[in-house]
């Protein structure tokens, strides 16, 4: 595909680790158009790994995108895989029939693929992770030098306030809290784009109608997908808009002015059954001296604390529509 978006001052080189998923599908299209997307790795999450991999390839097929797709981990470091069929349907991308993928995933597993991509250009690759963090954690454990090779990890996951799987825990982190803990402590710079901001980027019925009315192949497909996603969000969360989670992690790179950040220690809760998977963010703005106190020694991440949600959604919808021009 030839992206038609205006050239960025710098097209950030990224690898997208994802579990499509409706918002992941939007992220693939947005990344293809606005960033230098060197590959896609898939992980279990919204639906089993076979589905997330097929869905990633189907989205590539839909927009004519030819980047390597490597399948990764099918289960978390501890326990059994979850799923989000209640939101994304039994295929993970219910709501539209996407073209049958003509390409197969790479024979290579996502973990060595990711490591190789980072090693090939130290300091240049940004890893954008928008699913459970299992692939990333396994890669960091397999090759600890990876942390130094990556420019940064930008992840969609966690929350500074409410969760969506439990009152406190967000889905991606809750799927594999041990992996999340490895990633936050892994040594690479981490930026966390959590539910506290992605819930403010709401896809409304008007967006779905706009995609349908535009009449193109990609617009119609996304109208079907996002109509389904919105209906499930209404049914489960009683909200009138569906959160455009995953593309917000990419907007942190393409449109940094849309988000506000705070450096904060992030503790991933592993032990408490009630709070497991919670990202406890210390937003008190304590001094370094206070942070050194026992119990306040969690790894520091840059955490998104504000977003222009309406502008975020408009920019991503505009790229979906532009695929049909
Ligand atoms: C995250 O969970 C998944 O369902 C979405 O794709 C997103 O990555 C939001 O909690
Ligand atoms: Ca996702």
According to the model, what pLDDT value does residue 294 have? Answer: 61
According to the model, what pLDDT value does residue 5 have? Answer: 38
**Which whole number is the average pLDDT over 202-214?**
97
Phi–psi pair at 54, nearest 5 degrees: -60, -40
According to the model, what pLDDT value does residue 10 have? Answer: 61
Pick the CATH number of 13-194+245-289+296-302 from 3.30.365.10, 3.10.20.30, 3.90.245.10, 1.10.240.10: 3.90.245.10
17 lines ligand 1 (CB under 6 A): no
Q: Examine the pLDDT at 174 and tell me if it is beyond 50.
A: yes
Going from the C-alpha of 48 to that of each of 56, 199, 211, the distances in angstroms are: 12, 24, 28
Could you give the residue numbers annotated as active site?
A: 19
Q: Examine the pLDDT at 158 and tell me if it is beyond 70.
A: yes
According to the model, what pLDDT value does residue 298 have? Answer: 79
Ligand 2 centroid – CA 295 distance (Å): 31
Helix (H, G, I), strand (E, B) or coil at 51: helix
d(CA 237, CA 222): 21
**Taking all residues of the chain, what is their mean pLDDT, rounded to a whole number?**
94
In sequence order, the 6+-apart residues with CB closer than 8 A to the CB of 6 are none
According to the model, what pLDDT value does residue 296 have? Answer: 59
pTM for the model stands at 0.95
Q: Examine the pLDDT at 3 and tell me if it is beyond 50.
A: no
d(CA 265, CA 242): 29
According to the model, what pLDDT value does residue 291 have? Answer: 66
**Which whole number is the average pLDDT over 5-25?**
82
21 lines ligand 1 (CB under 6 A): yes
Q: Examine the pLDDT at 6 and tell me if it is beyond 70.
A: no
246 lines ligand 1 (CB under 6 A): yes
Q: Examine the pLDDT at 39 and tell me if it is beyond 60.
A: yes
Mutation test residue for ligand 1: of 16, 19, 230, the one with most atoms within 8 Å of CB = 19
Q: Examine the pLDDT at 92 and tell me if it is beyond 80.
A: yes
Please report which residue ranges of 80-176 form alpha helices under DSSP H.
85-88, 110-120, 134-142, 146-149, 171-175
Share of the chain above pLDDT 70, in %: 95
Ligand 1 centroid – CA 246 distance (Å): 7
**Residue 144 pLDDT grade (very low, low, confident, very high; cuts 50, 70, 90):** very high
According to the model, what pLDDT value does residue 28 have? Answer: 98
151 lines ligand 1 (CB under 6 A): no
According to the model, what pLDDT value does residue 11 have? Answer: 84
pLDDT digits (tens, 9 = 90+) for 51-72: 999 999 999 999 999 999 999 9
Ligand 2 centroid – CA 170 distance (Å): 11
Specify the higher pLDDT residue, 299 or 172: 172
């Amino acid at each position: 595909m030839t992206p038609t978006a205006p050239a960025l001052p710098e097209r950030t080189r990224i690898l997208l680790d994802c579990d499509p998923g409706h918002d992941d599908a939007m992220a693939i299209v947005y990344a293809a158009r606005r960033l230098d997307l060197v590959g896609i790795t898939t992980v279990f999450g919204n639906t089993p790994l076979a589905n997330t991999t097929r869905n990633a390839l189907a989205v590539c097929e839909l927009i004519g995108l030819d980047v390597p797709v490597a399948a990764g981990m099918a289960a978390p470091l501890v326990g059994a895989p979850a799923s989000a069929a209640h939101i994304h349907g039994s295929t993970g991308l219910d709501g539209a029939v996407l073209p049958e993928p003509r390409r197969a995933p790479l024979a290579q597993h996502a973990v060595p693929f990711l490591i190789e991509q980072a090693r090939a250009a130290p300091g240049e690759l940004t890893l954008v992770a928008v699913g459970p963090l299992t692939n990333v954690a396994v890669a960091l454990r397999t090759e600890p030098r990876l942390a130094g090779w990556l420019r940064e990890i930008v992840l969609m996951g966690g929350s500074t306030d409410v969760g969506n799987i439990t009152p406190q825990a967000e889905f991606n982190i809750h799927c594999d809290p041990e992996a999340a803990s490895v990633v936050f402590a892994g040594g690479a710079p981490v930026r966390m784009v959590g539910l506290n901001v992605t819930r403010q980027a709401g896809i409304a019925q008007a967006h779905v109608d706009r995609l349908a009315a535009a009449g193109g192949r990609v617009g119609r497909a996304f109208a079907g997908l996002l109509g389904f996603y919105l209906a499930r969000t209404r049914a489960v969360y009683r909200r009138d808009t569906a959160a455009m989670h995953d593309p917000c992690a990419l907007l942190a790179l393409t449109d940094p002015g849309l988000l506000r950040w705070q450096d904060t220690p992030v503790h991933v809760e592993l032990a408490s059954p009630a709070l497991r998977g919670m990202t406890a963010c210390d937003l008190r703005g304590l001094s370094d001296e206070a942070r050194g106190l026992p119990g306040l020694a969690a790894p520091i991440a840059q955490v998104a604390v504000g977003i222009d949600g309406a502008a975020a959604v408009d920019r991503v919808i505009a790229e979906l529509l532009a695929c049909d021009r």
